[in-house]
Amino acid sequence: QALKPDRSCQNIVNDTAVKRLTNGLPPCSTNTGAYCKARQRLPLAMLSTLVRHTGTLVSAQAPEAWLWYGRRIRLVDGTTVTLPDTAANQSTYPQQGGQKPGLGFPICRIVAITCLSSGAVLNAAMGGFKGKGGCEQTLLRSLLDTFESGDMVMGDAFFGTYFLLAELQLRKVDALFEQHGARKRSTDFSLGKKLGHHDHLVTLIKPKARPDWMTAEQYACAPETLVIRELEVGGKLLITTLTGAESFPKEALKSVYKSRWQVELDIRNIKTTLGMETLSCKTPQMSEKEMWIYLLAYNLIRMVMAHSALMADVLPRALSFKHTLQLWLGWQISKIVSDNQVSIVGILTLVAEQTIGNRAGRIEPRCIKRRPKPYPLLTKPRAVAREEIKKQGHPRKVK
């Protein structure tokens, strides 16, 4: 259901009814009630476990050539999705504070960890957009067990905090983040141990103020100081726990940090290509299940891409997610899906036929060319607007 352009329950039930007829089976009802009840019975723990298992499986099969200096790189980023405007969704994932009641949509925040080499989702967490427990840092802390010793984490400037760096070092996990704006303004390369031009080691001191989320015991256990590396490359100020300038040259760090953008593309594929930008379930429990279903469908396509890349001896990031999705759906419609080895090799060969270009440094305006239809925004609750239309009719078009 998550893979198809029409993701309605009715479409899935209709598709099943047609398949039964064409295969000579007794016809079934096209009523969606039984299907929706079956979806509700799906255990949430099973769905989340399947996503983590498939992500780990794809990542573990990565050969040495897909790694960076023999290290597995984990990308971290957050995003938001909207939900249907129901009382249950508003209670758990309230709309933004600047919107009047009845005019906005429930909104939630999602933080995901993906694998740089394969693109698979390794884990994710969902929380409210506003209020306690809804920030990206809080959601990431619930996912720290995803990282293993020897991994390297890359993220944007929001994640490079003292206590996260300390926790990652404790787990023997390295990090590479962009420097936060507040510290960026105070960076002085004349201090610390110089490693090269605009490249040095500095000692960070533990903040005196204990964060609200941190217990007194956790604060006491955090190290009093941290030694990190600051470097300026390509107009960006980066911080990392990889302190060896010879083992990890400045240019290598610059090059690998450019690939952080891949997590933005991964999220775009999940939200735009698969359609998770707006969830459709009317309760928070089903909305969370829907998120995990989308991530599982995404990992299925990434698994196909990884197998195709291994067979064609190319990097998975050189293959097109959209192209693979189209082939997979076409394969199913053609009724040739089977365990036949020739058929499987054939579909993997087709996946590797189309590659995407290496468009490093490409810049596009964040604007749309196609103009939307000239409908005004809904500035009052829909029920009130309906009553006004009944009494006064639709407003005249503005010329």
Residue 369 lies in a domain: no
- Residues 67, 121: one domain? yes
**Cα–Cα distances in Å, from 289 out to 142, 164, 270, 299?**
18, 28, 15, 15
Question: For residue 378, what pLDDT band results from cuts at 50, 70 and 90?
Answer: confident
Phi first, then psi: what are they for 152, rounded to 5°? -130, 130
pLDDT above 90 covers a percentage of the chain that reads 63
- Residues 58, 15: one domain? no
- Residues 283, 215: one domain? yes
Radius of gyration for the chain, computed over Cα atoms and rounded to the nearest angstrom: 24
pLDDT tens for each residue of 247-284: 999 999 999 999 999 999 999 999 999 999 999 999 99
- Residues 25, 69: one domain? no
- Residues 79, 208: one domain? yes
SS3 content of the chain, % helix, strand, coil (to 5): 45, 15, 40
Count of domains for the chain: 2
- Residues 211, 251: one domain? yes
Average pLDDT of the residues of the chain:
90
Residue 398: per-residue pLDDT: 58
- Residues 24, 68: one domain? no
Range(s) of the domain holding residue 37? 1-41
Residue 110 DSSP class: E
For 271, counting Cβ atoms within 10 Å of its Cβ (0-12 exposed, 13-18 middle, 19+ buried), the class is middle
Residue 109 lies in a domain: yes
Residue 234: per-residue pLDDT: 83
Top-ranked range on mean pLDDT: pick from 68-77, 90-99, 185-194: 68-77
What is the average pLDDT across 145-161? 94
Residue 208 DSSP class: S
Residue 185 lies in a domain: yes
- Residues 22, 112: one domain? no
pLDDT above 70 covers a percentage of the chain that reads 95
- Residues 125, 159: one domain? yes
- Residues 239, 293: one domain? yes
Q: Is the separation of the CB atoms in 189 and 230 below 8 Å?
A: yes
Measure the CA–CA gap between 94 and 91, rounded to whole angstroms: 6
Residue in the block written with tokens 């609200």: 212
- Residues 125, 238: one domain? yes
Is 132 a residue whose pLDDT tops 60?
no
Query: Whole-model pTM?
Result: 0.90
Last residue of one domain, picked from the residues 299, 333, 362: 299
Is 65 a residue whose pLDDT tops 90?
yes
Is 77 a residue whose pLDDT tops 80?
yes
For 62, counting Cβ atoms within 10 Å of its Cβ (0-12 exposed, 13-18 middle, 19+ buried), the class is buried
Residue 333: per-residue pLDDT: 76
pLDDT tens for each residue of 33-53: 998 999 999 999 999 999 999
Residue ranges in the chain assigned as alpha helix (H): 9-22, 33-40, 44-60, 87-92, 136-141, 162-170, 181-184, 216-221, 250-258, 261-268, 284-312, 321-333, 341-353, 382-392
Residue 284 lies in a domain: yes
Residue in the block written with tokens 């939307």: 372
Residue 257 lies in a domain: yes
Residue 337 lies in a domain: no
- Those residues whose C-beta lies under 8 Å from the C-beta of residue 331, and which sit 6 or more positions away, are 337, 347
pLDDT tens for each residue of 303-355: 999 999 999 999 999 999 999 999 998 888 776 555 567 778 888 999 999 88
Residue 335: per-residue pLDDT: 61
Residue 220: per-residue pLDDT: 92
- Residues 121, 248: one domain? yes
Residue 53: per-residue pLDDT: 97
